[in-house]
Amino acid sequence: MADELEFDLTLYPEPVLRKRAEAVTDFDAGLKAIVEAMFRCMATAGGVGLAAPQVGLKRRILVANATGEPGDDLILVNPTILERTGSTTVYEEGCLSFPGIYAEVERPDRCKVRAQDLEGNEFEAEFEGFPSRIVQHEYDHLEGVLLVDRMSPADKTRHRAALEELVCEFKHRRAQATAAKSGVAPRRGLPGARR
């Protein structure tokens, strides 16, 4: 039996999160393995939705489950939001790429999506309420739009320290990776290095 694919969450401000994801062209066992691993990663992290860039993949894949029930798994490959309608509502959103950070985000209550399933079959679906919000949030990730981009100035101020900590941790990880490649340990005082 082959080893299961596993993903770690990609945290802000990793550059892959800012890039527009590319279309999936191969609808094969590899795609199925990616989707299964994304669902496992999402469930382990306690999330309700996950986009491929959040696991470091620049692919147009999103998975979601608004209820936590296995029969409610949603897979959208190469999605496009065709319409956003209904009243605009404000709701507190979190994001697995911004652990512990929540912000009030305004979105339309409904959306209509065209996507493909795991076999490449195209379909359209309409979502309302919480499932619509999840789809719109994860779709933002496929477009390189992040929770921080949807935050009000007040939420950005309220979360400034946590956002700066994520940036500091990112710089530290980068310094460690560079040092590992070169065989030289990061020096104390290096920007982003932990003390």
Q: Which residues are catalytic?
A: 138
- CA gap 83, 61 in Å, rounded: 19
Is 141 flagged in the annotation as binding?
yes
The helix (H) or strand (E) run that includes residue 49 is: strand 49-51
- CA gap 110, 127 in Å, rounded: 6
| Alpha helices (H) in 74-195, listed in sequence order | 130-142, 147-150, 153-158, 160-182
Is 172 flagged in the annotation as binding?
no
Q: Is the peptide bond between 13 and the residue preceding it cis, with omega within 30 degrees of 0?
A: yes
CB 170 within 8 A of CB 14: yes
* Sequence ranges of the binding site for Fe cation: 95, 137, 141
